[in-house]
Structure 1
Amino acid sequence: MLPLGFSSGLPFLLVFSTLSTWLREAGISLTAIGLMSWVALAYSLKFLWAPFVDRYDVPVLSRLLGRRRGWMALSQLGVAAGLIGMASTNPQAGLPFTIIFAVLVAFASATQDVVIDGWRIDATTTERQGMMAAALLLGYRLALITAGAGALYIAEFVNWHSAYLAMAALMGVGLIGTMLAPRIDEGPARQHLPFAKAIVEPLADLFRRKGLMLIPILALIACYRIPDYAGGIMANPLYIDLGFSKADIANVSKLYGVWIGIIGAFAGGLALTRIGLWWTVLIGAVIAAGSNLMFSWLASGNATLWNLTLSISVDNFAGGFAGAALVAYMSGLTSPGFAATQYALLSSLYALPGKLIGGASGAVVEAYGYPVLFTGTAAIAIPLVILCLVVRQDTMKTVTEKNEKIEDAAPVVGAGSRA
């Protein structure tokens, strides 16, 4: 699970913030960089092709490795091929080719996530899924450090092409994990719901249980991480424009910042046990959105390394805290019979609006400046607080009814830790 978690986390930053750093240094406009963030929509739309991946075999590879491992190997090779393709391009002279290969990386990476989650859930009993999820998260965080700080170090001291070639080679860690993973689908193909029913039934169950309250619930989920996604795509270009070196960004944002985010996530988990779900969700909404004001302050003539460290500390802690709160909230909304599918749908929903809005973030910066963008994303805290108040009674009721079932959602929590 550890190398598979690493393989799952490695590609994400390479088509998101690390790529935005490369593009900005290459002189690509902020508008184009913002639009490039839409490449990561593959992670939000993966539920659309998940039934196909779950049902059909890969020719040759599935016969040799089994259905799950066959798809794992194919998707990992696809990620590596896409990264090699990105390494061979020059964004200044051929940005369309960079985009094409980035789309391949995102699609193959999202497919890999679907297969790894399916293998993990099938591989062992519910009682052991907590350890599986912990190993997945550790591998994933190590990959974020590698694809963030590691890629920036290589780019700083060698070049961007070598950085992406090195990341392609590291997908070999995932292939090793695939070869080591037990073959668990030796029997005949399992029966699956038709595609339409597999999507509609979980939604119908949510509506039956929540009624019209489902509308503000979904609105809260959809808006909760907008400040993170809408502002996050412009964070690295901001650092570059303020004169920070790639080594500074790697040290503070990609190395130090990841561990602060982990501390924030643990703090969110502790808050869940001490003050309850609703208060944790409310606090997470306020601090995650409000932390964007630190970047407005940084961009307003306060660009020192100490202030960068302070801003990233506040932002990453708040993001980790809010992420833990949202994962727990979405997990509590699921039904035992539809937990995996409902969580996949909800987790796709929370990421989608922020990524769509994030595509326009570069145009906002070019028109009005960085402080306006980050102040605007911080203001999203106001409607979030209102939505939290609207769903308060339902959240309290849900906790009362399901407080013994939170642990059963742990395997699904591990799958959705990309926030």
Structure 2
Amino acid sequence: MDDIATSTLLIILGVLLFLSAYFSGSETGMMSINRYRLRHLVQQGHRGAKRVQYLLDRPDRLIGLILIGNNLVNIAASAVATIICLRWFGDAGLVVATFGLTLVVLIFSEVTPKTIAALHPERVAFPSSIILKPLLTILYPAVASVNFITNGFMRMLGVNPNNTQGQDALSSEELRTVVNEANSMIPTSHQEMLLSILDLEKVTVEDVMIPRAEISGIDVQDDVKSIIKQLSQAQYTRILLYRNEIDDAIGFIHARDIMQIVTKNSVELDKSEIVRSAREIYYIPEGTPLNVQLLKFQRNKERIGLVVDEYGDIQGLVTLEDILEEIVGDFTTTITPLSSESTTLQPDGSVLVDGVANIRDLNKEMNWNLPIDGPKTVSGLVIEVLGDIPQQPLCLTVNDYRLEIVESSDNMVRKVRFFDL
């Protein structure tokens, strides 16, 4: 070593520091790369992505290879730097080499390459894999030996080095964060739809159903002329038929079936023929999540159903359109009143809300945070908080919202004013 010129040792030291920077940057780039984008590029046939995926399939081997190389060049650099400093500074060279090399390695071989690799992992990982993949083959005996020892030590500590299954899986909340942070990569409307799909498991059929009191149906006990008039003026293509009351439902009759009956009969329609044309009712248990019900509609080839409680009493009506609107928003053909039609902004900044307004819809439209784990309407929320139906104007507080009951009747709260929103 004494025969080697100092200039040559400086060149060797520079090469070793460059190799150290390469291994440090490669490690950070490989570990920082987006695994989902990597899989997408692999499916697209990207060669660099395939090499990186091959290396990341066994991260213990990859890390072992990089650390073997990094430690070798760092120790060699330390030895070379010590010789150079001893020539220049004598015995003080040991101290100079220790602190000087630490600073140089820290700046040029650690912080700088690792920061660049963290900011641009693909630009670092893909080219690095060209060298790392064949290097792994060449140094495999050394890497395997190191891995055998380290894996055994990890097992002694209760860690299974081979248990990597499911580490890249995302929960619904984590997936929600990914969608929210997509920004311009995904249009806002698409982000809203994706988030709505994730919300389907948290929303039940009671949240979107048409309440029992608002179900549009026809009593088959009425005379034929009245039934025909109601059918002709119906706002829906599917109408519920019942006897005397909703709980004695017969079935749904489609507008297409009505037209066929009218076309076939040149004389007065027979009520029994209308009843026979009714299709069997599809019942939905209350509490069914929307994602489950959507699949059930698809599996059973149904588009509409009646929500029933544990006693079999009808609570409301749900259609396929109601569930789809939770994903894509209200259709232009819907005749259901919008949330904005249930709210009126007052000159003093307060908001006047109808008692029948749906709380979930209000939260979405007004960006409020009213509780949705109980009653579905504002009237139900007020009654639950008070424990009674108020018969005179009064004020109350719900989740830091100040409410004033403006109008109520014997069975419900009709108007509520919200302050300080």
- Which TM-score band applies after superposition, normalised by the shorter structure? under 0.3
Structure with greater contact order relative to length (CA < 8 Å, sep ≥ 6): 1
TM-score (ref. length: structure 1) = 0.23
Q: Higher strand share goes to which structure?
A: 2
- Higher Cα Rg, which structure: 2
Q: Higher helix share goes to which structure?
A: 1
